[in-house]
Amino acid sequence: MISLHRLSIALLLSSSFAISAPSWAAPADSVQVPQRGVPDGFSELAARLSPSVVNISTAQTIELKDAVDKFPEGSPLERFNDFFGGRRSEGERVSKSLGSGFVIDGGHIVTNHHVIEGSDYIEVAFPNGETFEATLIGTDPSTDIAVLKFDAPDTIPSVKFGDSDASDVGDWVMAIGNPFGYGGTVTAGIISARNRNINQGSYDDFIQTDVAINKGNSGGPLFNMAGDVIGVNTAIISPTGGSVGISFSVSADLASGVVDQLIEYGETRRSRLGVRVSPQKLSAELAESYGLETPMGAIVSGVVDDTPAKKAGLKRGDLIIAIDGDDIIEPKSIFRMIAEKEIGNDVKIDIIRKRKRKTLTATVDRLEEKHNIEKREAEEKVENAADREVNGISIEGLSDEVREQYRIKSEVKGVRITKVNKRSPAYGKLQAGDIIQEVDFEAVEDTKQLEAIIAASNDSGRAAMVQVLRRGNYLFYGIRF
């Protein structure tokens, strides 16, 4: 929840598990629903689409730094133990949350990033009561979109993304989700506005509706009257925490591209230009100073060194008015326009500099997003700290937990031996607890690197020098791996 005094933008995440869902309605693929006009009702559309909407339950184990000791068994205060965090063990508690999602092709489920963020376990439940464990394929905090995967039976129906740009203000829309844990809830209304920027990220493109959306609806679909998904329900504005008729959904045109990349790569791959732009909209006077009759465009407030923008010749104060012929109406829209370009392609940038129009060409490159970098670093850390066996030597990386458990100082580098097999060439020399720091005069940083060094040593056919740290002493051995 992001509070704005009495008014708040709420991410639609419930903190309780679902109550039993209604029976799975039989699909009715032959239903024809008009795209325009006042509908006679939503029952046929709801029956056809509800089987593809899931209840998402997640669990996350949270370590408590300053854990409160539990009251002993038999104590009059024992009943308060659950109040202090619901721990499975001392210093831990389990956080549970609930959201919604919808099935697309191949057993993939689309939901919100904030629904599954930090989860240790994800379960999806269908309206007929079937449940499946799901795994995270990829997530994009910038648009609050995530994709899950589960082993889907052939009988599981799916829905598809539609063209949200073809939707107009005033069109009827319908949402299906699990507000407050009540599964399979259908609500309807109209589109109130399009292309909303609610300051949630660089790529905001929200559809605003008056559909009743509440906590637990996060990640659920917003359908048009043809049954296509035109939005992913994400946030509400409310002074009470409940629906007051102002809800926001990530547009399908934005979400579908993100979903495709997450399925293909496990992460997003966006292009970058390398400029900072002023967030202010042009006033009539400022537009006049650039020689424009109609205010539009984005003013460059800075150019990042060694980027496509710098190489193309963009300068501070330039007014960018179009990208590849598409006018820039809102300053912030430039980031999405660039992000959707093919990495490595040339982009035409129309600018006004000192009241003169120019066209520059920039070859966009890949944007290294913070969450993707953090994900790769975390994966590398896990990979490098993983337990391995090399030539009969079981080793582990010096993770924070290992250092704490065995009191290994932070300045000590290398890998720790957990076991030496009797058939290993190192048996009788190296011991469990030794920290291998060098092999063949090359410093060992992690388990993966040690494997590579020993493999190279094997190829040489000679004995390798191994330096270990044992109980504060440095020892050296010649071992023919």
**Residues 441, 356 share a domain:** no
Average confidence (pLDDT) over 21-27: 37
- Within a domain: 378: no
Q: Which of 23-32, 266-275, 387-396, 440-449 has the highest mean pLDDT?
A: 266-275
Q: Which residue has the tokens 């854990």?
A: 67
Q: Which residue has the tokens 């040489």?
A: 460
pLDDT digits (tens, 9 = 90+) for 358-368: 999 999 999 88
Q: Answer yes or no: are the C-beta atoms of 431 and 471 closer than 8 Å.
A: no
What's the pLDDT at 17?
A: 37
**Residues 206, 146 share a domain:** yes
Average confidence (pLDDT) over 379-394: 67
Max CA distance (Å), the chain:
85
CA 363 to each of CA 159, 312, 447: distance values in angstroms, whole numbers, following the listed order:
37, 8, 39
**Residues 248, 338 share a domain:** no
What is the distance between the alpha carbons of residues 442 and 449, in angstroms, rounded to a whole number? 10
What's the pLDDT at 73?
A: 57
**Residues 285, 246 share a domain:** no
What is the distance between the alpha carbons of residues 26 and 49, in angstroms, rounded to a whole number? 9
The partner residues of 148 in beta bridges, in order of sequence, read 109, 136
Residues comprising the chain, all counted? 481
Q: Answer yes or no: are the C-beta atoms of 113 and 141 closer than 8 Å.
A: yes
**Residues 214, 356 share a domain:** no
**Residues 247, 130 share a domain:** yes
Domain end residue (candidates: 208, 235, 266) = 266
Q: Which of 218, 247, 251, 457 is catalytic?
A: 218
More confident residue, 374 or 417: 417
Locate the DSSP E strands across 330-400.
Answer: 346-353, 356-363, 365-366, 388-390, 393-397
Full strand arrangement of the beta sheet holding 92-103? 131-133, 121-125, 53-63, 92-103, 108-111, 145-149, 135-140
What is the distance between the alpha carbons of residues 375 and 69, in angstroms, rounded to a whole number? 34
**Residues 291, 233 share a domain:** no
Average confidence (pLDDT) over 386-392: 75
Least confident stretch, 56-70, 143-157, 205-219, 392-406: 56-70
What is the distance between the alpha carbons of residues 242 and 213, in angstroms, rounded to a whole number? 8
pLDDT confidence tier of residue 34, bands split at 50, 70 and 90: very low
CA 160 to each of CA 123, 226, 399, 427: distance values in angstroms, whole numbers, following the listed order:
22, 11, 44, 60
Residue closest to 314 by CA, chosen among 303, 326, 325:
303
- Within a domain: 380: no
Task: Classify burial at 115, counting beta carbons within 10 Å of its beta carbon; exposed 0-12, middle 13-18, buried 19 or more.
Answer: buried
CA 333 to each of CA 10, 195, 206, 339, 431: distance values in angstroms, whole numbers, following the listed order:
23, 10, 12, 10, 61
pLDDT digits (tens, 9 = 90+) for 347-359: 999 999 989 999 9
pLDDT digits (tens, 9 = 90+) for 225-243: 999 999 999 988 877 777 8
Task: Classify burial at 276, counting beta carbons within 10 Å of its beta carbon; exposed 0-12, middle 13-18, buried 19 or more.
Answer: middle
pLDDT digits (tens, 9 = 90+) for 101-111: 999 988 999 99
Q: Which amino acid is residue 105, in one-letter code?
A: D
pLDDT confidence tier of residue 166, bands split at 50, 70 and 90: very high
Q: Answer yes or no: are the C-beta atoms of 450 and 436 closer than 8 Å.
A: yes
- Within a domain: 473: yes
Q: Is the pLDDT at 397 greater than 60, yes or no?
A: yes
- Within a domain: 159: yes
What's the pLDDT at 331?
A: 87
CATH no. for residue 450? Answer: 2.30.42.10
What's the pLDDT at 77?
A: 56
**Residues 145, 244 share a domain:** yes
Q: Answer yes or no: are the C-beta atoms of 187 and 210 closer than 8 Å.
A: no
**Residues 414, 357 share a domain:** no
What is the distance between the alpha carbons of residues 380 and 214, in angstroms, rounded to a whole number? 38
Q: Is the pLDDT at 165 greater than 70, yes or no?
A: yes
**Residues 209, 297 share a domain:** no
Q: Is the pLDDT at 71 greater than 70, yes or no?
A: no
Query: Would you give the DSSP letter of residue 161?
Result: B
- Within a domain: 371: no
State the average pLDDT for the chain.
Answer: 82
Average confidence (pLDDT) over 323-332: 90
What's the pLDDT at 220?
A: 94
What is the distance between the alpha carbons of residues 184 and 23, in angstroms, rounded to a whole number? 9
- Within a domain: 377: no
CA angle 330, 336, 340 (to 5 degrees): 145
Domain end residue (candidates: 232, 266, 300) = 266
- The domain of 275 spans 271-366
What's the pLDDT at 87?
A: 45
**Residues 8, 72 share a domain:** yes
Q: Which of 144, 171, 204, 434 is catalytic?
A: 144
Total domains in the fold of the chain: 3
Catalytic annotation present for 114: yes
- Within a domain: 375: no
Domain end residue (candidates: 233, 266, 299) = 266
Q: Which of 52, 114, 140, 205 is catalytic?
A: 114
Q: Is the pLDDT at 88 greater than 50, yes or no?
A: no
- Within a domain: 121: yes
pLDDT confidence tier of residue 449, bands split at 50, 70 and 90: confident
What's the pLDDT at 202?
A: 75
What's the pLDDT at 109?
A: 96
CATH no. for residue 237? Answer: 2.40.10.120
Catalytic annotation present for 218: yes
**Residues 153, 216 share a domain:** yes
